[in-house]
Amino acid sequence: MNSQFLSEYVNLLERVLSIGHEIHYCSGAIERQVSYSPYFQGIEQDNRYFAPIITENKLIKEFFPNLKKDLLEIPSYNQCLWAAEAFLRIQGATGLTFECIFLYIPINTMYEYFPLYHEMDFSHIVKEFKRLFDGKSAFGMLTEKYHYSLTDIAKRIGVSYDMLSSLKQRRRDIKKTGVEIVVRLSQVFNVRIETIAETVL
C-alpha cells in the first residue's frame, strides 16, 4: 500500500465500517466485500500500479445498495476510524490481502482491540498481527474457521494427509506447492488464491 494515500484510504474504509456499525450490518459480509472490492484490491496493489480512485458515494452504493439513511446523518465512530487505519497499516506493512488479514483479526475483534491499542502507535497493532500470523498459517486458520478435517480435504482434492498437515504447520512452504493444489485449496474454502498462499502482493 502506498502510504502517500493513506489518509484517503482510511477515510473511505472508515465510512464503510461506520455505516455498517450504524445499521448493524453483518461484519463478515463487510469483510467479504472489502476483500473482493476492486477498489480495495487496488489498494493492495497500488505500489505497482496507480492508486485506485473512487468517490465516497460510489463506494457506499457498492457496499450498501439499499441504504436509506442520509450519509450526513451517519457519524464517524471512533473505533471504526481507528480500525480502518489499523487494517490499512497492517496491509501496508505485510502486503497481504485484506481477506488474509481478516482471518487473523476480524472486524469485530479489531473493535475489541480498540480500548487497549487506540492510544498506542499503530506499530503495536501491526506487531500483534504479525505475532498471530507467525503462529498459524492461513490454511490452518481456514480449517479451524470452517471446522474442516484434513482427511476430508485430502480426499476432496486428491492429495495426502501428510502434505496438508505439513502445509498447515508451515513445515512445507505453500508457495512452493504446485499451483493446481493451491487453486484446489482456494476453491475448497472459497477464498482468493493469494490469501491461502499468503502471497505478498
pLDDT in tens, 141-179: 999 999 999 999 999 999 999 999 999 999 999 988 889
125/113 Cα distance (integer angstroms) = 8
Please identify every stretch of the chain with a pLDDT value under 70, giving residue numbers as ranges. 1, 47-49, 201
Distance of CA 3 to the CA centre of its chain: 18
The per-residue pLDDT for 49 is 62
Per-residue model confidence (pLDDT) at position 4: 81
Please give the Cα distance from 41 to 37 (Å, whole number).
6
pLDDT of residue 48: 63
d(CA 113, CA 107): 10
Residue 147: count of CB within 10 angstroms of its CB = 6
* Residues 126 and 89: beta-carbon distance below 8 Å: yes
What does the pLDDT read at residue 40? 95
Q: What is the pTM of this model?
A: 0.94
pLDDT of residue 140: 96
Tell me the residue type at 103. Answer: L
User: Can you give the pLDDT at residue 39?
Assistant: 94
Helices of type H across the chain: 6-22, 27-36, 38-44, 56-63, 78-94, 98-104, 107-117, 123-135, 138-146, 150-157, 161-168, 179-189, 193-196
Q: What is the pLDDT of residue 191?
A: 97
Give 9's contacts (C-beta < 8 A, 6+ positions apart). 1, 43, 84, 88
Torsion of CA 96, 169, 109, 189, to 10 degrees: 70
Q: What is the pLDDT of residue 151?
A: 96
Is 173 within 8 Å of 78 (Cβ atoms)? Answer: no
